[in-house]
Structure 1
Amino acid sequence: MVHDYFDKFTFLCEMYDEAEKEVKELILNFFPFDNSVQVIDPKKGKNLVKRVQLPPLRLEMLEIGNIVNIFSKLLHIKDCAPATKRDLFKNYERTFALIKPIPASEHGKVITFIMKHGFRIVRMKNGRVSKDFVMQMYRDIDDNQTLPVIIDYVTSGEVIGLELEGANAIEKWRECLGATDPSEALPGTLRNLYGKNKLENVAHACKTSESVKTVLDLYFGFDDGKPKVPFQATFKNCTCCIIKPHVLIDGNVGAILEQIVTSGKFYISAIAMFSVTLTDAREFYEVYKGVLPEYEDMCVHLAEGKCIALEVKCIDSKLNCVCEFRKECGPRDPDLCRQLYPNSIRAQYGKSIVHNAVHCSDLTEEGEIEVEYFFKLLATK
């Protein structure tokens, strides 16, 4: 899309003013033509930040709920103007995708496919589903011979559920999947690329908005504070990996997942997407306060968008998982990684010490504690 110099997207934000000890309501204007921003204090009727270019800021970062750093001013996006909602989210809808029990080595490829086709992942977690869940998901099938076979297959192993967002997402996801039978699916569709047969055909797609709503609640919903599909973290002999928000924007989530599981050393026992508040981020990174000069910037970045938490384990249980996985990630500085460990995760997908693709546990005793922080504490918020 070509943008005019005066095109703008308007967001309603809040900012805590340290000097005046109050929360201010502000307006953030983003001009996509030259990647410039303007921050207005509507009560005072003046600019807090005059229109100026801010190259690090990208339109994908301006989602409701995110925190953006505008020249050290932390703005929490609460809403957007009607015109912005119309222009940015025209025909936007959400759908549910279920990655069936396929080899873990293919999970990354499937997620890369999803992101390259313009879908935004809103929620994501791995799990095991019940017979009742599968019956609800396939309630449009009335073949008494086929349904039991599908139920047995989908409940036979780990699945990954995703809530996807995009323009005409329900129909588009079905088109991206291709025909039920991979041999009949169009070239380039997901089932054509990775499907084996009509049963083992990679993933599932809902047909209607009603079924999307039902299945999203069944997969991501809670009953009496407990998730209907339990998180898979075990909190034993593990390390914690956090895929940072910039990786989602850059579209590299799938590549990182693929690198981890094809390394021959690790497997991912639990995966889930989280929204982290600035308070949460400061608490999680508390051990680095006063130690790393980037502490505050690290906290802000973790709260800037969705992140993905992983519980990672070594295939060889005798190995120290925390130490081994740190080697896979590489040093904190991606530039140093590129010189010394060019195949490490941070060398390939990191951009700076703060935007260094992933966080990984530093000390052996921290692995289980950090996994618990996400999969026990944040998972119930």
Structure 2
Amino acid sequence: MSEEDRYVFIAEWYDPNAALQRRYQLFFYTKDGSVEMYDVKNHRVFLRRTKYDELHKEDLFLGNKINVFSRQLHLVDYGDQYTSRKVGSKKEKTLALIKPDAVIKMGSIIETILDSGFTITKMKMVLLSRKEAMDFYNEHQSKPFFNDLVNFMISGPIVAMEVIGDEAVSSWRKLLGPTNSSIARSESPESIRAKFGTDGTKNAAHGSDSIASAARELEFFFPSSGDRGPKNTANFKDCTCCIIKPHAVSEGLTGKIVNAILDADFKISAIQMFTMEKANAEEFYEVYKGVVAEYSDMLVELCSGPCVALEIQEANAPKRFRDYCGPTDPEIARHLRPKTLRAHFGKSKIKNAVHCTDLPEDAVLEVQYFFKILDN
């Protein structure tokens, strides 16, 4: 290895103009955070080495989608043995489930997950049918607690997440703590079950117990085939749409923003993570085209990484939630409406933490766009 530490990945980018999948070698230099790209097919430098602050070492793992200068790149392979050895060996995926008793605390649990160094790559709120719950807990069928467990798991919505991290299966279970929440409180007081669980069944969250279980359980909630898995919980009534923008997701603010929304007495009736293609973003933001000067920058931001869509439910949702988000410019929000979401979490007019529906008549349509159209 040279005196300078660098990682090499094979990355794919879908070029919409040519309708082609393009392949690059992506070099990342850890010392100064600079990137370089080489076009594999045409054997030429595509991007000279350039400092790029938006990309971090933690973002570099197989299967992740990253953004480099507004191009969404999919990391499909390691570019050399060194990278494979350094980055590949410890990264694992596991399933993290927030159970019905703790969905009200999901903001704090998501925050704990992110603060512990995990990356959330998929997320979806679902309501399991009895059959789905029985299938999921199939291995416990002969156990005395099986019926109680199934009844509990279908008693309300749950939040399923794919989390990635170093040795994620064991480190997530360690963060969960002992199965029984009372034992967790004495043996592991900082664990999730100690803080948010009640007893042995209502214990706030679930984690896969092995790499094989993790693969099976993730496939159950997030099928790689054309199946849809359990359906989302959006009900498209008395609702409005909120999107936690990609910059806020990548800054690890998802849990804090969800918390703030719940603390302000809004009900989150559906939540799901999406990665937007440019065509989808254009469709979704169509009403702003030619109306808002920042339209093209808004598109770039919405496609720059995963975003989290929420259905917010209450009688006068569009107006009250828009008021709570505050002015689109966070600077103005900080002066005039310091308690609003954008005042707290926004950085600029484009990176202003959240999108919310502007016109009440668009609210259901925007929720449907994510939870009906994109989820299909």
Q: Which residue is 1:217 aligned to? A: 219
- Deviation for aligned residue 1:99: 0.9
| 2:6/2:27 contact within 8 Å kept | no
Q: Which residue is 2:279 aligned to? A: 279
Q: Which residue is 1:182 aligned to? A: 181
Three-state SS of the structure 1 residue aligned to 2:32 is coil
| 2:324/2:340 contact within 8 Å kept | yes
Three-state SS of the structure 1 residue aligned to 2:238 is coil
- Deviation for aligned residue 1:227: 3.2
Q: Which residue is 1:111 aligned to? A: 110
Once residues 278 and 62 of structure 1 are traced to their aligned partners in structure 2, the CA distance between those partners, rounded to angstroms, is: 22
Once residues 193 and 21 of structure 2 are traced to their aligned partners in structure 1, the CA distance between those partners, rounded to angstroms, is: 50
Q: Which residue is 2:200 aligned to? A: 198
Three-state SS of the structure 1 residue aligned to 2:47 is strand
Q: Against the structure 1 CA distance between its residues 127 and 48, is the aligned structure 2 distance closer, same or farther, given a 3 Å change threshold?
A: closer
Q: Against the structure 1 CA distance between its residues 105 and 143, is the aligned structure 2 distance closer, same or farther, given a 3 Å change threshold?
A: same
- Deviation for aligned residue 1:187: 2.1
Structure 1 segments of 4 or more deviating over 6 A? 20-23
- Deviation for aligned residue 1:379: 0.5
Q: Against the structure 1 CA distance between its residues 76 and 7, is the aligned structure 2 distance closer, same or farther, given a 3 Å change threshold?
A: closer
| Correspondence list, 1:167-316, <5 A | 167-185=166-184, 186-221=188-223, 227-264=228-265, 266-314=266-314
TM-score, normalised by the number of residues in structure 2: 0.88
Which of 312, 327, 330 matches 2:323?
A: 327
Q: Against the structure 1 CA distance between its residues 5 and 336, is the aligned structure 2 distance closer, same or farther, given a 3 Å change threshold?
A: farther
- Deviation for aligned residue 1:203: 0.8
Given residue 239 of structure 1, which amino acid in structure 2 is its aligned partner? T
Given residue 358 of structure 1, which amino acid in structure 2 is its aligned partner? V
Given residue 286 of structure 1, which amino acid in structure 2 is its aligned partner? E
- Deviation for aligned residue 1:6: 4.5
Three-state SS of the structure 2 residue aligned to 1:166 is strand
Given residue 337 of structure 1, which amino acid in structure 2 is its aligned partner? A
| 2:329/2:348 contact within 8 Å kept | yes
Q: Which residue is 1:79 aligned to? A: 76
- Deviation for aligned residue 1:25: 4.2
Once residues 30 and 45 of structure 2 are traced to their aligned partners in structure 1, the CA distance between those partners, rounded to angstroms, is: 19
| 1:222/1:228 contact within 8 Å kept | no
Given residue 197 of structure 2, which amino acid in structure 1 is its aligned partner? G
Once residues 78 and 8 of structure 1 are traced to their aligned partners in structure 2, the CA distance between those partners, rounded to angstroms, is: 12
Given residue 254 of structure 1, which amino acid in structure 2 is its aligned partner? G
Q: Which residue is 1:352 aligned to? A: 348
Three-state SS of the structure 2 residue aligned to 1:51 is strand
- Deviation for aligned residue 1:256: 0.9
Once residues 299 and 87 of structure 2 are traced to their aligned partners in structure 1, the CA distance between those partners, rounded to angstroms, is: 28
| 1:69/1:300 contact within 8 Å kept | no
Given residue 53 of structure 1, which amino acid in structure 2 is its aligned partner? K
Three-state SS of the structure 2 residue aligned to 1:229 is coil
Root-mean-square deviation (CA), in Å? 2.7
Q: Which residue is 2:132 aligned to? A: 133
Three-state SS of the structure 2 residue aligned to 1:376 is helix
Once residues 285 and 364 of structure 1 are traced to their aligned partners in structure 2, the CA distance between those partners, rounded to angstroms, is: 16
Structure 1 regions of 5+ residues with no counterpart?
Answer: none
- Deviation for aligned residue 1:226: 6.4
Q: Which residue is 1:52 aligned to? A: 50
| 1:105/1:262 contact within 8 Å kept | no
Q: Deviations over 1:85-105 (max 9, x none)?
A: 443332222111221112543
Q: Which residue is 2:27 aligned to? A: 29
Three-state SS of the structure 2 residue aligned to 1:106 is helix
Q: Deviations over 1:38-69 (max 9, x none)?
A: 23345555434322222334345556563624
Q: Deviations over 1:182-203 (max 9, x none)?
A: 2222121111111111121111
- Deviation for aligned residue 1:357: 1.0
- Deviation for aligned residue 1:144: 4.1
- Deviation for aligned residue 1:106: 0.9
Q: Deviations over 1:201-235 (max 9, x none)?
A: 11112212332233223323399x66341211112
| 1:61/1:68 contact within 8 Å kept | no
The answer on 1:148 being equivalent to 2:147 is yes
Percent identical among aligned pairs is 35
TM-score, normalised by the number of residues in structure 1: 0.87
Structure 2 regions of 5+ residues with no counterpart?
Answer: none
Q: Against the structure 1 CA distance between its residues 68 and 204, is the aligned structure 2 distance closer, same or farther, given a 3 Å change threshold?
A: closer
Q: Which residue is 1:123 aligned to? A: 122
| 2:270/2:310 contact within 8 Å kept | yes
Three-state SS of the structure 2 residue aligned to 1:365 is helix
Q: Against the structure 1 CA distance between its residues 27 and 235, is the aligned structure 2 distance closer, same or farther, given a 3 Å change threshold?
A: same
Q: Against the structure 1 CA distance between its residues 4 and 301, is the aligned structure 2 distance closer, same or farther, given a 3 Å change threshold?
A: farther
| 1:9/1:31 contact within 8 Å kept | no
